[in-house]
Structure 1
Amino acid sequence: MPLTTWLIIIGAIIVFLAIIGVLLGTQYRKVGPNEALIIAGGRKRTITLPDGTKKKVGYRYKLGGGTFVWPFIEKVYVLPLEVITLYIKTPEVLTHGGIPILAEASAQVKIDSTDLAIRLAAEQFLGTGKEGIRDVAMNVLEGKVREVIGTMTVEEIYRGRQEFSKRVAQAAKEDFARMGLVLLSFSLKDISDTQGYIDALSKPVIAAAKRDAAIAQAETEKEAIIKSSQARKEAEVARLQSEALIAKAQWENEAKKAESQTFVNQKKAQADFSYELERTRVTQEIKKEEAKVKQIEKEEAIKIEELEIKRKEKELEANVLKPADARKYQIQAEAEAEEIRLMAEGKGKAEAMKLEAQVKADEIRLRGLAEAEAMLKKAQAWERYNEAAVLESFIKILPELAKAIAEPLSKVDKIVIIGGDKGLGTNQITGQVTQILAQMPEVVKALTGADLGKFLRDKLGSAAAEAETGKASAEKKPEKK
């Protein structure tokens, strides 16, 4: 066979082995110590029950660890073995004495680790998980709690909680064993009732305890009074006896005291004098030390005050003087600059005003010269005017004057004329204009003294005379021929 064929065969074998290895690796199932691995399928196995009977089952289990599961033949299930906590709260249940009470308890259950318990639990709880186990265990325990409450009185339950818990555990043990479960612990947390029976039950006990305490206290006080009276009697006898002895002893003692008192007073006076001397000396020493301390404190205070003064001087110099000097120099510089600026502006304005004044003066002078020259020429012209020229000037402006007088009539949109005795209204309008113009010679005569009417009569009269003379001359010439 060629080499290529061998290589292909070897590669195929390697791939096949790798696939088998992967499949075998995926079929190795593992669980923790709190779980049981149930492997169903494959050949049947014979097991021996606790009573000695044998039974064939189609599954096997592995408690913790791992095992190989044949593919396509076996199927794997996981059975939880951890502790499950139950909280039980019953409704009102009648006790043995017919009193309805409510009970609260807690319990811990799990699947037992024995071979039989695991097989029983696998047959009953496989696939339901922890919740299925909790529900079944809760129902069983709640029923057993009610059952035990019905067999005990309230007093027995209240005073014997451990006994109650033992009875519940004993009652549930058999049912749990048939399901592969085990009750690890059970505790009655509280009992209560809605009728106030438990409170009423405790009141007589409390009252009896108070009564017994009061009686015991009264008996104790009675015995104490009797014993104290006897003790006072004995004490009084003993007191009188002792007083007699004491009086005798005092009389004897007074003499000794009088003798010793003198000696004591002497020693006491010496001691007091010595004490006063020592106290005076110590006081003087203390005052000296206090004076030294005060002197040192004053010196330290002076040093601190000097340092504070220097600090304030530096602070004043840094915060006030230097900024003030800087501000002073700044203000001086700004004032000098402002002064220079104002001087320059004033000088410039003065030059400008001077030039402007010169220009205005020249302008006024030239305008005055021109007006004077014009007035002079006008005066010279008026001097050459005679009365005839002046009157002729007035005559030339008469048409303009008539136009100005009649101009307001041109701006009237509508005129309503009503006739009267003196003729048509239109004649009155034109007559008023004529009257105004006829008054002009009188106005001119009043203002200037020139008689415009006389001038016109003279002018027109000389013209008529010349015309007559010319006509006569023309008539005489044919007669000479």
Structure 2
Amino acid sequence: MFDFLLSPIPGLILLAVLAFLIVLLYARSIYKNAGPDEALIITGKKSKKTVVDGATLEQSGQRVVHGQGVFITPFFQKAFKISLRSRAIEITAIAQDKMGITLTVEAVAIVKVGDDPDAIRAAAQRFLGQDKNIDNFALEVLSGSLRSSIGATDVMTIIQKRDELGASVLATARESLANQGLDVDSFEIKGISDANDYIKDMGRAEQAKVRRQAEVAEHQANREAQEAAIAAEQAIAVAQNTLALRRAALQLDTDKAAAEAAGARPLAEAKTQQAIVQEQELTAQRRASLRKAELESEVNAVADAEAYRIRVTAVAAADAAVTAANADRDSRKSIAEAIRAEGQANADAILARGAAEAESTRLSAEAVAQQSEALIQLRMVEMLPRIAHELAAPMSNIDNLTVISTDGASQLSKNVAAGFSEVDAMLSSTMGVGIRDLLGSFVGGAVAGQGLAKAATVEPAGERAPDAASPEDSTWTRTESQ
């Protein structure tokens, strides 16, 4: 980085930038341009002389540039700007016409520097840097030309032909202005007046003449209007007379028509009544026919509906009877099948129960034959819950129980225990075996039961068919069935 700064390259770049800036500033200083309302006059060149047809013409060395830019040579050429804008100049001139009447004429002129290079050079030579002098010079020249033109004509011409006065002023002043490099775009007369009311007096005669003509015309118009009014009234009277006659004729026709209408009215009413009666008869006949048709339609509709109802009812009743018969038949079949099945089931159940009871009785007899005492004890143990139930049955039917005892509610349990004691004493006295003895020998009864089970398994169930039962077994089965 430092090597680059110490090298000559940065210096060369700086010099190039400075040279560019200097060239830019120099070009700006030597380049001049003119606006759209300006013109440049470039001076510094020598004038040229040329000979045309033996006459020597000198061409100015001044160069005129309009609406563009140009480079100038420094130290040898200079550029000056001059405005080309239009200027409105108010002019008031007091002068006497050729009849000696003093008039005051007001006008406005539009003045500007000419467009051609010679006019621009002439204006630059005289008014460069002094634009206000253009207004003053143009004002003086145009005022003089206006006064001169007023003196050459009369007031009536000025009043009636203002354009001619303006053209005369321009024709007189244009040459003087062109010598100064100026041009007039337009010149208009704004107003004409005089201090002695001459123009007003000139108008009075005309006004009187016009007023007189107007009065005559007014009288003539009034007379014509009156004549027209009279003619109109006459026409109105004639029209009213004609109208009255016409109304009378119309009234006559109306009365005649009214009389005819009055005479024709009863006849017309009679004819109308006849027509009404005929129409009523036709209406009554049509109404009767319509009512007859309605009654026939109603009767037929009712009969058809009743026949249809009876037919549908009969068909429905027949279908219902067939359905009911089928249902009753199926129901009876079902009931018969159920009764038969139930009877068969009852018979099978009775047969099975009888066979089972017979087998149980046989086994019990065999067990009694083998272990009679233990079996009796077992039966007595099985009866103990039923005995207890029978002892408590009277108490279960009691809704409200009042215990009168010093022991309270525990008296009930004592009573139950006393009942069991009485049962134990009864068994001991009648069978020689008490409840304690039964419970003590329950183990022996269990062994006896095992012996019975073994005895039952020794004999196969198929050796003895139900049909081969003994007469005692059959008797037992019948008894149980009954």
Classify the TM-score, shorter chain: 0.3 to 0.5
What is the TM-score normalised by the length of structure 2? 0.47
